[in-house]
Amino acid sequence: MTDAAPKLVCRNVWKVFGARAEDSLARIGPDAGKLLAAGLIPAVRDVNLAVRAGEIFVIMGLSGSGKSTLVRCLSRLVEPTSGEILFNGRNLLAATEAEMIAIRRHKMGMVFQHFALLPHLTVLENVAFPLEVQGVPRATRDARAREMVALVGLAGREASFPRQLSGGQQQRVGIARSLAVEPELWFLDEPFSALDPLIRRELQDEFIRLQSRLQKTIVFITHDFDEAIRLADRIAIMKDGRIEQIGTPEELVLHPATDYVREFTRAVPKAKAVRVASLMSASPPPEGAPAIPARATVAEAGGALASGAGALAVTDATGRPVGTLHREDVIRLLLAGTA
């Protein structure tokens, strides 16, 4: 993740469903109770957030919390009732429909829970399809599609049809297809939730690998806190259309801002939320110390420490040592409950 200016900013965004929702919101005002009493459904309520360039920003909440409606508002697949959504500083709500179609085709990638592959097209043709829609010449789009198929680990399956693939492989095709247009902003709405746990874990690992190479700006929707902890740079927890708190996994678990967030994270072991980077020292690691990525959790470091290592070499995304994780610091975290 970088410290660059936000790629996506959401200001005071509301999505109210019902007849004459925009007029009613202007007349009644931002009062969810009064809107409900008027027969309207405020699905997204006064949301403010900023997604930094290069980060994985996870939006999570229980079913009905508004997270999927929000992500569709961010891309204007669903029209917000009021507010501002800025992409690279431009208010998307002021864009024409033709301009939004061009932005989605060229600057945004989207992956949803249902794979939505075209059954009559091969893997290569499915991945190349968005480029065909853009009018990219066949040789160019096929070369790009082959590159993306290889990137997601499906080289050799270019001529297969979706029915010949497992669920996990089909979702990889969906991911490759969304990356083919080289999006600046990547939306993923519960992309792994329909998969078996082992396949889901495998694709999470694949997703982390891809992000370490591509450094996309990602908005990822999930209801699974374990998944959020594994993937997120920051997490926004939603309830009843509102954002309760935005923070790193550590901040949410160690310093919940509301009773709801406290209850939501209560059962999460701190070792699963705290990243190695937060606990490491800047001292160089001992010669021959086992390595652990800086973004790994303390729980993931437990196996190496339990096998007898007194310290681990902490590495960045390129494998370069950046510090040391000491066994004593891990023990202190587990016993004291704070980092």
Give, for all 339 residues of the chain, the pLDDT tens digit. 545 679 999 999 999 999 989 998 989 888 888 999 999 999 999 999 999 999 999 999 998 999 999 999 999 999 999 999 999 999 999 999 999 999 998 999 988 877 789 999 999 999 999 999 989 999 999 999 999 999 888 999 999 999 999 988 998 999 999 999 889 999 999 888 877 888 888 888 888 888 888 889 999 999 888 899 889 999 999 999 999 999 999 999 989 999 999 998 988 888 888 889 889 999 998 888 999 999 888 888 887 787 788 899 999 888 899 999 999 988 888 776 544
Q: Which residues contact 115 (CB under 8 A, 6 or more apart)?
A: 162, 167, 170, 171, 173, 174
Report the C-alpha gap between 53 and 262 in whole angstroms.
29
Task: Report residue 282 as tokens.
Answer: 């800047």
DSSP state of 162: G
Residues facing residue 10 across a β-bridge: 49, 85
Going 92 to 95 to 99 to 101, the CA torsion angle's sign is: positive
Report the C-alpha gap between 325 and 279 in whole angstroms.
7
CB neighbour burial string for 191-219, b if at least 16 within 10 angstroms, e if fewer: bbeebeeebbebbbebbbebbeeeebbbb
Q: CB neighbours (10 Å) of residue 79?
A: 11
Report the C-alpha gap between 161 and 86 in whole angstroms.
38
C-alpha distances in Å from residue 300, one per residue of 150, 245, 274, 330: 28, 25, 10, 11
Give the chain's domains with CATH numbers. 6-12+48-271 (3.40.50.300), 274-336 (3.10.580.10)
Q: What pLDDT shows up at residue 194?
A: 75
Report the C-alpha gap between 270 and 297 in whole angstroms.
9
- The number of residues in the chain equals 339
Judge if pTM exceeds 0.75. Answer: yes
Report the C-alpha gap between 329 and 332 in whole angstroms.
5
Report the C-alpha gap between 207 and 56 in whole angstroms.
11
CB neighbour burial string for 15-30, b if at least 16 within 10 angstroms, e if fewer: bbeeeebeebbeebee
Q: Which residues contact 21 (CB under 8 A, 6 or more apart)?
A: 40, 81
Q: What pLDDT shows up at residue 210?
A: 86
Report the C-alpha gap between 25 and 241 in whole angstroms.
15
Cα atoms in the Cβ-side hemisphere of radius 13 Å centred on 161: 5
Q: What pLDDT shows up at residue 301?
A: 87
